[in-house]
Structure 1
């Protein structure tokens, strides 16, 4: 990592009044992109390279950067599948690579050929934040020589680039004004355009914020909603400093005649201690925001951005400011400094083994007098690969047990507290302090669900309560925790065909206000959607279809044709019907994502309630969530199975028989929760 005092200004100190311009802008997620982490080794207490690689794999981290060709690290990376940025180093190595083609060839023979392709070397970085005119002039000749050496060795698939600090770009505000500060970078950019290699750029909003907190708000620097900055040069709106800095690099590439070159963020991060704004909460907000954000891209470059967080560990032998030793995601003993959830190859894996992570979340209901203790339940969740759990109220025992587990938590503010939360901001603040702030960051909260299937007579409290809880979380520095509500399936009047989806008249009296709140705060809409009830209550809209196979995901082909879209199961039809109902409100909401906060199938107590049908539905659900829906193909549906246990204090009948497990922790039926 080359960022030090000289890097601090990041050429964005001129971004006047950014913190004062307030607005909203929402991005729609596209394809999921894995994010890498830089493996720095400037510490005398770090774990072995083999242990480090295992740590990467266990946390679902699919990319690594190392700053020199460390043999132990390269050996440990064999057959790991982790994509690697391999640095050459600066100094003498750089000058020799530039001056000698034979040295470049020997460097490839020593540091690349013995490892590739067992080690997935994606990029070679020729120099990191190279300073000084002579050294900078060596970059392009060194890249040329390494490219030639790789080609001669039959390794031309490996791309060669260099990693630059952000101050290689001048006039970075507004982003459209970005231009390279020195001519050598124009030559490098144009050469990269001929080889198909990306430009590697180290982008640190932290240093820009630290040096200009008057004009750059903390929220804007850490991906929090509430600030929008319009670039009059390109007409684009920016809601994060990261996007503005990234697009300034893109603008500089365009002005150099290399607009088609991809920009890879080779370092970015936020320190957890040691300086102004360097706190664990800010570091978590920034790094989690980066992880979640890169799949969306930037206003100028929508689509996934490849990025690497600095750094894997706190490194006790780094020089410079104290912050330099506190960028790590982990302590040297491999315990997390920050609780983050990485976007792995196919799932959001919260510091868990990606291969074993469940595809769905699970609802942990507690309406039983024979349920196991919360500590046992958390062990069950982890053993079965569940990475997120829904609680219906802030159960202190459950929250305490979930602390440090790495399992994300969706927690409810139950219906009976809505009047108080709605009428009193101080009551909402007290609720947040008691039930959220006191457990954070040990417990990783995902959503606060204000009300569950709020009944008639209480809906007038819903949005005021959501507003007050949202404000209380923001004041507590927990603005990344989204506030939402869970609506019942009964609010949807029409399920089939999905394009005709519409809310009931009663729901239309409050849902426009709910949707407007969710749109403004970038929160999802939670909905409890049960194909079981659509089937048993005859919700097919009079359509002549085999509703049982449609409900169980077992229909052999499309059953409902809705214009150009064919539907093979009720689950996907209900999700798209809800999207249609939101759109039909006419209040926006096109960026409000639907999360299925409950779904499942009972094993006994009612029509079609059987162990075999429950197993069939839930197993197929696990697989189908990855497919998206006909109108949103490939966009994973976030879903939660109801419920973890059969609960004997619920109403007799089907209500007692939704569990995946008996209270004695035995499975009700065999099921694989990982797709």
Structure 2
């Protein structure tokens, strides 16, 4: 389409930036193969990657597709298939389920990023539906026996008519009794419910009462108010998803996530099936899902578009052959943009080059548009807050929690670490969208380790009691002393199980270790744990690797510098003009990166190659010890904020999640440097000027 370049480009970029959500899961696309003219599996995977599509669903264990997916990073929903015999055998035989996992999962995972296993798709008939839950249980047990428990979630994919009385959304309830049992089981495992949601069919069935604009995300169309919950809906998709959420709540599973495992609009073959409507719906869907729904605002909705290709051998209604985004010759049926701008901005795990490549794929952006867009992205990256802050309360003169939360928001902090589940702080954080890292203090570890019921009670009292708080991690113990580490992993296991049973399996369980557990910092390739730390860290790393949780580490270049004779302070303050430590192919210009990568090395030696390191404390004191000054603290922390989004030499594209210690100077801590780490005085004045999003 011809455009007036400057004005239109500015408008396009403005619209993109304005629509960036705060977080998002992948938009995936369903890959069906009911056609005799489709590209090879390897060509299809390459098409996904070239178009920036980061999720795929396949409807049976297609070995050619699984082989092609190796190393792609594409997140996968793997269906068991709908064959009655397959479901019957998985439901009735634990050994069959074990064999299925050994044949279809173990040879591919983790090279193939399997995320969910779908036990059946839109299973119909009471006899077949009765097999779903036993099959899910057997597959979960088989995955656990294979050492994959918790790594791959088992669910089922339901048709939308599994929900009865879906309007208004608050009236949603499951139509069949078996679904309540499935929902409660999912709550216990932390798995989502997969739901196929098609506004197209709802609109086609009732065009008199549903407007086309409301069904296809067209702005300025109908709005619908739900008198049952007081929420307002501007599109049919949200209303349908929230009806599923309401049904889950009524089934006693309010914390189970919904993953939209199919959604789309046909481009031909029936009523309202046109290229224009299909493009409007699918582009609107891609642009919308990162915002969540009125019932769950801000909670990005993982969604899979149906389907990748028009499939010429599908039967039934002619529309079934026309849901594809692409023709079999790999040409798009209509222009559509998959680029996930938010992933660059928020997660920092895609390179700008990758974003550029995805966005530049014709016919999406001109060269002028691309330069302008990347400039805007760079500016946003420069402003985005890259760090969280530790909120300690060891002071008798600190402001109330509600005031502190206001300060967090004013200063652009989107994550905060609490060292214990402070009820006042959690109440103040409710509904703010600020992510919370909450500690289970060292003194509760013995109880959590020895009693599953104590862990369940802790989760109930401190996590479930705050449904409007966005919990990120539960940190079981902070720098646990050597004599108490025997309780550590058992406590982590029990809390992990309690969260899963409460339907909160997405909240990761971890622990925070001290810098003192690292025996060798330099060179980073020689990084290893102390002999004392090795006595328990192997178990910790194995737990984190299995549950895909990060390792939290309190890392302080300040202490390394003050305890290392002859080290140049510029290496510790991010101010060295060039490489200080050359470690093989990796050059280190600052001590922070070197310490993080030394820890990566140490963790990898214990089998934790996939375990991410989160720097749960770091900072520089302003007084009370050697090199402790306002100037040095300002230099370190400001440079930290600017630096962490770049990653480390060993992991250059993965932003380092880091938390500055601490929010306040705390007067009840030990005299000396311990009282002087704060960014703010207790009267809320800054200790020094700093820009947290710089």
Q: 1:240 to 1:439 in 2, by over 3 A?
A: farther
Match of 1:644 in 2: 663
Match of 1:115 in 2: none
Q: Where in structure 2 are the equivalents of 1:586-665 lying within 5 Å? A: 587-665=606-684
- Is 1:503 aligned to 2:521, yes or no? no
| Matches of 2:21 and 2:240, distance apart in 1 | 29
Q: 560, 573, 591: which is aligned to 2:594?
A: 573
1:152-209, Cα deviation, whole Å (9 max, x unpaired): xxxxxxxx99x9xx99x8xx31133679xxxxxxxxxxxxxxxxxxxxx999889999
Aligned partners of 2:442 and 2:480 also within 8 Å: yes
- Is 1:173 aligned to 2:60, yes or no? yes
- Is 1:486 aligned to 2:512, yes or no? yes
| Matches of 1:331 and 1:492, distance apart in 2 | 41
1:246-272, Cα deviation, whole Å (9 max, x unpaired): xxxxxxxxxxxxxxxxxxxxxx99999
Compute the TM-score of the two structures, normalised by the length of structure 1: 0.57
1:8-66, Cα deviation, whole Å (9 max, x unpaired): xxxxxxxxxxxxxxxxxxxxxxxxxxxxxxxxxxxxxxxxx99998862364679999x
| Matches of 2:530 and 2:106, distance apart in 1 | 43
Aligned partners of 1:412 and 1:449 also within 8 Å: yes
Aligned partners of 1:370 and 1:663 also within 8 Å: yes
Q: 1:227 to 1:461 in 2, by over 3 A?
A: farther
Aligned partners of 1:493 and 1:503 also within 8 Å: yes
Q: 4, 20, 38: which is aligned to 1:57?
A: 20
- Is 1:393 aligned to 2:420, yes or no? yes
Q: 1:214 to 1:513 in 2, by over 3 A?
A: farther
Residue aligned with 1:670, SS:
coil
Q: 315, 331, 339: which is aligned to 2:299?
A: 339
Q: 1:567 to 1:469 in 2, by over 3 A?
A: same
Q: 376, 381, 389: which is aligned to 1:362?
A: 389
Q: 1:208 to 1:375 in 2, by over 3 A?
A: farther
- Is 1:477 aligned to 2:503, yes or no? yes
| Matches of 2:242 and 2:116, distance apart in 1 | 20
| Matches of 1:335 and 1:319, distance apart in 2 | 12
| Matches of 1:453 and 1:607, distance apart in 2 | 23
Aligned partners of 2:22 and 2:291 also within 8 Å: no
Residue aligned with 2:531, SS:
coil
Q: Where in structure 2 are the equivalents of 1:70-149 lying within 5 Å? A: none
- Is 1:419 aligned to 2:438, yes or no? no
1:537-584, Cα deviation, whole Å (9 max, x unpaired): 22x6xxx542x1110011110111222222111101111111222234
1:239 CA drift (Å): 6.5
Residue aligned with 1:618, SS:
helix
1:359-395, Cα deviation, whole Å (9 max, x unpaired): 0111010111111111111111111111111000000
Aligned partners of 2:238 and 2:293 also within 8 Å: no
Q: 1:215 to 1:372 in 2, by over 3 A?
A: farther
Q: 1:227 to 1:370 in 2, by over 3 A?
A: farther
| Matches of 2:507 and 2:100, distance apart in 1 | 20
Q: 461, 479, 491: which is aligned to 2:487?
A: 461
Residue aligned with 1:633, SS:
coil
Match of 2:464 in 1: 437
Q: Which moved more, 1:465-474 or 1:318-327?
A: 318-327
| Matches of 2:25 and 2:504, distance apart in 1 | 28
Residue aligned with 1:416, SS:
helix
1:339 CA drift (Å): 3.3
Q: Where in structure 2 are the equivalents of 1:74-473 lying within 5 Å? A: 172-176=59-63, 229=101, 235-237=107-109, 240=114, 274-275=173-174, 276=179, 286=192, 318=236, 336-337=296-297, 339-340=299-300, 344-348=343-347, 356-440=383-467, 442-473=468-499
| Matches of 1:458 and 1:202, distance apart in 2 | 39
| Matches of 1:638 and 1:227, distance apart in 2 | 39
1:448 CA drift (Å): 0.6
| Matches of 2:102 and 2:80, distance apart in 1 | 22
- Is 1:532 aligned to 2:558, yes or no? yes
| Matches of 1:55 and 1:204, distance apart in 2 | 31
Q: What value does the CA root-mean-square deviation take over the aligned residues? A: 5.0
Residue aligned with 1:477, SS:
coil
| Matches of 1:208 and 1:501, distance apart in 2 | 46
Question: How many residues are aligned here?
Answer: 455
Compute the TM-score of the two structures, normalised by the length of structure 2: 0.56
- Is 1:558 aligned to 2:558, yes or no? no
- Is 1:520 aligned to 2:392, yes or no? no
1:415 CA drift (Å): 0.5
In structure 1, the gaps of 5 or more residues are 1-48, 66-124, 138-159, 180-200, 218-225, 246-267, 289-309
Aligned partners of 1:450 and 1:462 also within 8 Å: yes
- Is 1:549 aligned to 2:570, yes or no? yes
Aligned partners of 1:60 and 1:354 also within 8 Å: no
Match of 2:279 in 1: none
| Matches of 1:492 and 1:60, distance apart in 2 | 33
1:220-276, Cα deviation, whole Å (9 max, x unpaired): xxxxxx99945559942367465899xxxxxxxxxxxxxxxxxxxxxx999995544
| Matches of 1:311 and 1:202, distance apart in 2 | 26
Match of 2:277 in 1: none
Aligned partners of 2:75 and 2:115 also within 8 Å: no
Q: Which moved more, 1:339-348 or 1:365-374?
A: 339-348
1:604 CA drift (Å): 0.8
1:51-105, Cα deviation, whole Å (9 max, x unpaired): 998862364679999xxxxxxxxxxxxxxxxxxxxxxxxxxxxxxxxxxxxxxxx
Whose helix proportion is higher, 1 or 2?
2
